[in-house]
A and B are shown apart, each in its own frame.
Chain A
Amino acid sequence: MSDKLYRILLFLAALAMPIVCGGVVYALVTDAYAAFEHFGFLKFLTSSEWSYTEGAEQYGALPFITGTLMTTALALLFCIPFSLPVALFVGEYFKGTKVASVLATVTDLLAGIPSIIYGLWGFYTLRPLIMELGISPQGSGVLTASLVLAIMIIPYAASLSAEFIKMVPNDLKEGAYSLGATRAEVIRRVVFPVAGSGIFSSYILAIGRALGETMTVTMLIGNTNNIPESITSTGNSMASIIANQFGEADGLRLSSLIAIGLVLFLITAIINLIGKVMIKRARIV
C-alpha cells in the first residue's frame, strides 16, 4: 500500500516539472503572439529598429540577438585559455593530487558567487581599468561585459572538462607512452580526441550559462538599443533589454519583450540540447 502511495507521489512530483516547463512556454508564446502577429516572425527577428514613437512603434530583436551572440562568443573565446589549462591541470597533469583538488575547489567556488557581485566588480574595477587603458572612452560595452562573463563561465567549462579528461582510459595513454610519445603529444593525440566531444559539451553548457546572464551584462554593456559596431561599442543583450524595460513596458512593447524572452528560451534550449546529446555520445566512447 505504502509502496503504491510512494509511487503515486513520485509520479506526481515527476509530472510537475514538465507541467511547469510547458506552462512557461505556453505563457511566453501567448504573450509574445501579439508582437509576432504585428511585425511578422521573421521581420521581428531581423529588424534592428527599436523605436517608441507612439502610433509608429517598431520593435525588432536583431540588436539584442546580436548583442547576446557577441557577448557569448567573446566570453567563450576569453574563457578557453583559462578553463582548458585548469581542466588539464586537474584532470591530467596533477590528477588526484592535493594541489589539483584545491584548484578545482577554488574554480568551483567562482560558480557560487552571485552575479551581482561580478557586476559590481566589473563596474567598479574592470570598467575604470578599460577607460584608463584607453580601450574605450565610456568603459561600458560588449567587451567589458564579455570579460566578466568569461570569468563567470570558467568554472562550468573547467570542472566538467576535467571530468571528461579524467575519464580517458589509462590503457590508451600508456599505449601512446610506450610508443615514445611525449606528454604533450599524448594530450594532443589521445586525450583530446577521446575526451573531445565531452569537452565540447562542457563548453556548450558554459555557453548556455552565458546566454542568459542578465545582471552582470545589464550593469556593463551600456544598454543602448543598437547593433554594436565593434566589440568596444555599447549595446544590449536579450536578457538585459528585458531587465531594463520590462518594468515600464506595456502593450506592444511588453509583447515584444516577451517575444525576445521566448527567442532566448529557444536558443538556450537548443544549445543545452546539443550539449546533452554530445555528453551522451562522449559516454559511449
Chain B
Amino acid sequence: MNQNNMKKIFSTVMTLVIALAVVSCGGASKDSGRKAQELSGAGATFPLPFYNVVFEHFAEVNGDVVAYGGIGSGGGVRNLRDKIVDFAGSDAFLTDKEMAEMDAVIHVPTCMGAVVLAYNLDGVNSLNLSGELIADIFAGEVKMWNDERIAALNPGVTLPAEAIIPVFRSDGSGTTFVFTDYLTKVSPMWKEKFGAGKSVNFPVGQAAKGNPGVAGVIKQTKNAIGYVGSEYAFAQKIPYATLQNQRGEFVTPTAASISAAASGTIPADTRCSITNADAAGAYPISTFTWMIIYKEQHYADRSKAQAIATLDLLKYILSDEAQHITSEVHYAPLPAKAKELSLSNLKAVTYDGEAIHN
C-alpha cells in the first residue's frame, strides 16, 4: 500500500464518519428541479461556528445538506488534493507552490475574522498590547506579566508578578499562520527566528489541539495568554487584548474594525493577507477565511448536481442573507469588492469543461 492510498483511506474513513454524524434530510432541492445533494467539506476550525449556522440556513433554504469536518486548514487542503471533498476550508490561502502541485482551484472568501489574544489574569479586565510586545512574549523574551514594557502600555492596570504562560496550537493551523504572519510583519526578530507558517516552533509555553483546545487551556490556566479565533474567546467568555495597529491606535476586534482591515486593494484571486493593515481603525490580526474548490468540478465520481450544489452553497455564503450572520457569531461581513470578485471568479467554474450556468 503506498502512502497516497493510505492517506486516502484514512481521509475517506474520516469523511464517512463526518457524513454519518450529520442527519441527512433528503428530499428534493427547493430551487430548480435537481435532487437535494449532500456536500462534504473539511478544513479550518476558525470559521466553524459561522459555517455551522450558515450550513443550517442553507439546508433550510436549499435542501442541500453540508457536512463539514473541522480538521484544520492543512487537513482540508490535503483532502481536497486527494479529491475526497467538495470544498476545503482554509484560513491560509494556498501558496503559488501549493497551487502548482494541484489542479486549478478557486479561492472564495467566506467571511472575515480576527485572531484575538485571549488571556487569563486575575483582576485584569482590559489589556493593551502591541505587535512587537506579543512577538517578544511568544518568543519568551518578555517573561513576566509585570514587565515594564507591558506596564507602559497599561497605565492604571495592576499586573501580577507572575510568569507569562503562552499557549499555542499543537496541530498545524491556519490560525497559527495568520498569527505568525502578523508577527513576522511587526517584528524583525520574529521574522528571523521563527517566521510564519501553519506550524511554528514556539520556544515557550504549552500547546493544545484546535481553537477550542487552546481556548480551554487559557480558560483553565491562570496567567496564560494565547491566540484563538475571536468566536472561541467570546464563547468561552475569556477576555482578549486590545491591540495597537499600524497607525498606533488601540483597537478591539469588532465587525467594524475587522472590516476596516480589508479596505485596501484586494487582488483578483482574493489571495491576500490583511494582517497589520495600514488603515484607520483596523484590527491588526484580521483575516479572510476561504473555501477552496476545483475550477473543474468533475472529479472523483462527482455528479453535475453536486457541482451545482457546491456553487449554490458558495453563492449563498456570498449573499447578503448569509453575510448578515457573520456579525452575529463575531466575524465580519466581506467587503463588497471581495464579493464581486468572488462571484465573477465563480463564473469560471466548469463541469466537463463547460461553464456551469444556473
| Residues of chain A at the chain B interface (Cβ within 8 Å) | 23, 26-27, 30-31, 34, 50-54, 123-124, 127-128, 131, 137-141, 218, 222-225, 234, 236, 243-245, 247-250, 254-255
Contact residue among A127, A139, A245, A254 (Cβ-Cβ distance under 8 Å from B199): A245
Whether A247 touches B206, Cβ cut-off 8 Å, given contacts A52-B200, A128-B220, is no
What are 19 of the A-B contact pairs (CB < 8 Å)?
Answer: A23-B1, A26-B1, A27-B6, A50-B201, A52-B200, A124-B220, A131-B221, A218-B209, A223-B209, A224-B206, A224-B207, A225-B201, A248-B73, A248-B75, A248-B78, A248-B172, A249-B74, A250-B74, A255-B3
Please, how many angstroms separate the alpha-carbon atoms of A255 and B171 in the complex?
A: 16
Taking a contact as CB atoms under 8 Å apart, the answer to whether B195 and A30 are in contact is no
The list of the 4 closest CB pairs from A to B, nearest first, reads A248-B172, A223-B170, A248-B74, A222-B206
Please, how many angstroms separate the alpha-carbon atoms of A234 and B171 in the complex?
A: 16
Q: Whose C-beta in chain B lies nearest to the C-beta of A234?
A: B206
User: 8 extra interchain contacts, Cβ-Cβ under 8 A, other than A140-B206, A224-B202?
Assistant: A30-B3, A52-B199, A52-B200, A53-B195, A127-B220, A139-B220, A247-B71, A254-B3
Contact residue among A31, A137, A236 (Cβ-Cβ distance under 8 Å from B3): A31
Whether A248 touches B199, Cβ cut-off 8 Å, given contacts A27-B6, A222-B207, is yes
Taking a contact as CB atoms under 8 Å apart, the answer to whether A27 and B1 are in contact is yes
Chain B residues with Cβ below 8 Å from A123 are: 216, 220
Which size class do B's interface residues fall under? 35 or more
Taking a contact as CB atoms under 8 Å apart, the answer to whether B2 and A30 are in contact is yes
Please, how many angstroms separate the alpha-carbon atoms of A225 and B1 in the complex?
A: 30
Taking a contact as CB atoms under 8 Å apart, the answer to whether B206 and A137 are in contact is no
CB of B8, distance to nearest CB on chain A (Å) = 12
Q: Whose C-beta in chain A lies nearest to the C-beta of B173?
A: A248
Taking a contact as CB atoms under 8 Å apart, the answer to whether A138 and B206 are in contact is yes
Chain A interface, DSSP helix/strand/loop, else mixed:
mixed
Taking a contact as CB atoms under 8 Å apart, the answer to whether B74 and A138 are in contact is no
Q: Is B224 close to A, CB under 8 A?
A: yes
Contact residue among A30, A127, A224 (Cβ-Cβ distance under 8 Å from B1): A30
| Residues of chain B at the chain A interface (Cβ within 8 Å) | 1-3, 6-7, 71-75, 78, 162-163, 165, 170-173, 195, 197-202, 205-209, 216-217, 220-224
Chain B residues with Cβ below 8 Å from A244 are: 170-171, 207, 209
Taking a contact as CB atoms under 8 Å apart, the answer to whether B170 and A139 are in contact is no
Chain B residues with Cβ below 8 Å from A124 are: 220
Contact residue among B78, B172, B206 (Cβ-Cβ distance under 8 Å from A245): B172
Chain A residues with Cβ below 8 Å from B165 are: 137-138
Please, how many angstroms separate the alpha-carbon atoms of A89 and B257 in the complex?
A: 66
Chain B interface, DSSP helix/strand/loop, else mixed:
loop
Please, how many angstroms separate the alpha-carbon atoms of A138 and B206 in the complex?
A: 8
Please, how many angstroms separate the alpha-carbon atoms of A128 and B223 in the complex?
A: 13
Please, how many angstroms separate the alpha-carbon atoms of A231 and B83 in the complex?
A: 44
Taking a contact as CB atoms under 8 Å apart, the answer to whether A224 and B205 are in contact is yes
CB of A261, distance to nearest CB on chain B (Å) = 11
Please, how many angstroms separate the alpha-carbon atoms of A124 and B75 in the complex?
A: 29
Taking a contact as CB atoms under 8 Å apart, the answer to whether B220 and A223 are in contact is no
Please, how many angstroms separate the alpha-carbon atoms of A179 and B356 in the complex?
A: 95
Taking a contact as CB atoms under 8 Å apart, the answer to whether A139 and B172 are in contact is no
Taking a contact as CB atoms under 8 Å apart, the answer to whether A52 and B223 are in contact is no
Whether A140 touches B217, Cβ cut-off 8 Å, given contacts A52-B201, A248-B72, A254-B7, is yes
CB of A249, distance to nearest CB on chain B (Å) = 7
Chain B residues with Cβ below 8 Å from A52 are: 197, 199-201
CB of B257, distance to nearest CB on chain A (Å) = 30
Chain A residues with Cβ below 8 Å from B216 are: 123
Chain B residues with Cβ below 8 Å from A137 are: 162-163, 165, 223
CB of A250, distance to nearest CB on chain B (Å) = 6
Q: Whose C-beta in chain A lies nearest to the C-beta of B206?
A: A222
Please, how many angstroms separate the alpha-carbon atoms of A128 and B222 in the complex?
A: 9
Taking a contact as CB atoms under 8 Å apart, the answer to whether A248 and B1 are in contact is no
Q: Whose C-beta in chain B lies nearest to the C-beta of A51?
A: B201
Q: Whose C-beta in chain B lies nearest to the C-beta of A33?
A: B3
Chain A residues with Cβ below 8 Å from B202 are: 224
Please, how many angstroms separate the alpha-carbon atoms of A128 and B219 in the complex?
A: 11
